[in-house]
Amino acid sequence: MLHRLRAAFAPAAVPEQHTRTVLSRGHSHGDLNDAPAGLPVALRPVRATDGERWSAARIEDQQLLQPFEPTVQGDWATAHSPQAWRKTFHNLQILSADRVLVPMVIDIDGEFAGQLTIGNIQYGTVSSAWIGYWVHSRFQGQGVATAAVALGVDLGMQVVGLHRIEATVMPENVASRKVLEKTGFRIEGHLQRNLHINGEWRDHLLVAQTQEETAPEGVVRTLVNRGILGLAVNRN
């Protein structure tokens, strides 16, 4: 019985190249239609060759990332060295092969701009996962996170086949809270001392959305219609 349920509700395999691209929009001081055109944002699978760029971005942005990320073992530079990427990539590949995690790179015109991960994918009558992301400081303030999360939610629901996607965010992380709200997440609760962040246990807000709350055409198309993202195209 469990095997049949797992087969019936199992998320679809994620294609090797998820090349859908949307245009982010820069900050606006008024009407969204006046917001400057943004950047072409896409998601692609992580690669073994991402190590150098991953390491450089993570080390450069330590002061921005560390206050909001799980505590690392040892020092930040060692934990994010190109050598550390080899182990990280290996672990991501194992979890991806087991179909419990979808590890993606946020790609802007071929440049490594951050990561987006759909993790803890559960099957059967749960059919849910969490989503997490980070964006390199070079690309912040240009709507890239909003575009990436919109793509990620559509990937999770339309390609992987999830019913529910959730995320956790620290209450003081205002920028990330705005991204999640803009892309359709609603607050479900306050988790006390939920994750060990930068050396101490920290509270988080639990946010989520389900298929019933998402327009049939997806989050990307909804935000395009609202003028928050540019028209989506396929890079084929």
Distant-in-sequence, close-in-space partners of 94: CB < 8 Å, separation ≥ 6: none
pLDDT in tens, 60-89: 999 999 999 999 999 999 999 999 999 999
Instruction: Tally Cβ neighbours within 10 Å of residue 158.
Output: 18
Q: Is the pLDDT of residue 144 over 50?
A: yes
pTM of the model: 0.89
Rounded alpha-carbon distances, angstroms, from residue 24 to 71, 128, 143, 144: 31, 27, 5, 6
Between CA 122 and CA 129 the distance in angstroms is 6
Distance CA 4, CA 124 (A): 9
Q: What is the mean pLDDT of the chain?
A: 89
Residues 131, 134, 137, CA angle at the centre, nearest 5°?
Answer: 160
- Integer Cα distance of 182 and 133 in angstroms: 15
Instruction: Please check the confidence at residue 94 and state whether its pLDDT lies above 80.
Output: yes
User: What are the CB-based long-range contacts (under 8 Å, 24+) for 3-8?
Assistant: 5/123, 5/124, 5/125, 6/123, 6/124, 8/124
Cα 205 to Cα 30: distance, rounded to the nearest angstrom? 29
Q: Which domains does the chain have, with CATH numbers?
A: 18-225 (3.40.630.30)
* Model confidence pLDDT, tens digit, residues 5-20: 444 445 555 555 555 7
Give residue 231's pLDDT.
75
Question: In sequence order, which ranges of the chain are alpha helices (DSSP H)?
Answer: 2-9, 51-60, 62-65, 76-79, 82-97, 144-154, 174-182, 219-225
Calculate ∠ Cα 142-25-131, nearest 5°: 70
From residue 28, give the alpha-carbon distance in Å to each of 32, 36, 38, 139: 6, 7, 11, 16
